[in-house]
Structure 1
Amino acid sequence: MTADSLHPMARRIKDAFPEGFVKAVEWRGDLAVTVTPDALHRVARLLHDDPALDFDYIVHVSSVDWPEDEERFEVVYEFYSIRKRHRIRLKTRVRESDCVVDSLCDIWKGADFMEREVFDMMGIRFRNHPDLRRILMPDEYTEGYPLRKDFPLRGKGWRDTFDFLNEPMS
């Protein structure tokens, strides 16, 4: 995608944060913009506060594990503007050794549980999250992160943590 052919929303982000803009991809009408981790919170604030963008609804927070890549983890936010009826996917990549991004809970309260799920399942930490603790796995489970691609299919510590699964069904 050339600079002249950028989607108008991607152009707005790139103009506002040229140092944080990585790329924009438009496919089948969906726009995905990748930014640096340092720019994530500022770009999210722009998406929310700019009246022309007006992203008032956080749809989803997820993550992707690319174990062969230097920046192994991708955090993916999806936003929608109810009034403008447009959507955007905002992405950032982090290394396994520095697996932290800024929380967006201060902008969208709905990010709270979704960021906790990404933390619990993938191990990505969210800086300034108001309550970053496990949400799906038991609190005492410390054997890794189940959605990472290097996690064993049978789990780590599976039998100890989930003993009730080994009991015969009546």
Structure 2
Amino acid sequence: MIPTTMTIDTIVSLLNDKIGADYVRVDATGTPATLVVNHEKLVAVCTVLREDASTYFDMLSCVTGIDNGVQAATMEVVYNLYSIPYNFQLMIRVMLPRENPAVESLTHIWKSADWLEREVFDMYGIIFHNHPDLRRILMPADWEGYPLRKDYQHQEYYRDIRVEY
């Protein structure tokens, strides 16, 4: 039976039934509803959210990164999901170590993950394992570093270009 309403509690209950506990927690501090997921269970969680008729998150609208800084020694990948049939928005956050941050690609679940993951890689240096074409998308191919990291040192890549208005 397909429920007419979806809540964060029904989602967590479904995930606990299908995958097991101790991999996800609810962050109730903001909007939309947010799950903090262990990076090792990300693919399993997203597969259930996409495939199960009671949730059917058919749209991955955004993927972004967060650098929590050198002192925190963590980074995050944030996924914004949307279920069109249920008119429900869900955010998933995955915590990663700042040194060698990596997580599995979700391109086999949502095609829109392709360029979104490339942007996060390009700006933050987060690796998406099994991505079909993980290369720079915004910065030049020979760019060094990741511009949105908090410890990024600016390059003078374009110092010889003059723009006149």
Q: TM-score, normalised by structure 1?
A: 0.84
Per-residue CA shift, 1:37-63, capped at 9, x if unaligned? 110011010110010010001110001
Q: What does residue range 48-127 of structure 1 map to in structure 2 within 5 Å?
A: 48-67=50-69, 68-70=71-73, 72-127=74-129
Larger fraction in helix: 1
Contact 1:20 1:35 in 2 (8 A): no
1:132 paired with 2:143, answer no
Structure 2 distance, partners of 1:29, 1:137, is 31
Q: Residue in 2 aligned with 1:163? A: 159
The 1:146–1:38 alpha-carbon spacing in structure 2 relative to 1, beyond 3 Å, is same
Change (3 A) 1:100 1:29: closer
TM-score (norm 2): 0.87
CA contact (8 A) 1:20 1:38 kept: no
Mind listing any 5+ residue stretches in structure 1 that lack a counterpart? 1-5
Higher RCO (Cα < 8 Å, 6 or more apart) = 2
Aligned length: 158
The residue matched to 1:107 in structure 2 has which SS? Answer: coil
Cα 1:119/1:28, change in 2 over 3 Å: closer
* Per-residue Cα deviation, 1:73-99 (whole angstroms, up to 9, x for no partner): 100001001111111111111112231
Aligned AA for 1:163? R
Secondary structure of the corresponding residue to residue 98 of structure 1? coil
In structure 2, the partner of 1:22 is: 24
> Could you tell me how far apart the structure 1 residues matched to 2:12 and 2:160 are?
50
Indicate the percent of aligned positions where both proteins have the same amino acid. Answer: 34
Where does residue 148 of structure 1 map in the other structure?
149
Change beyond 3 A, Cα 1:17–1:55: same
- What letter matches 1:130 in structure 2? P
- Alignment gaps of 5+ in structure 2: 1-7
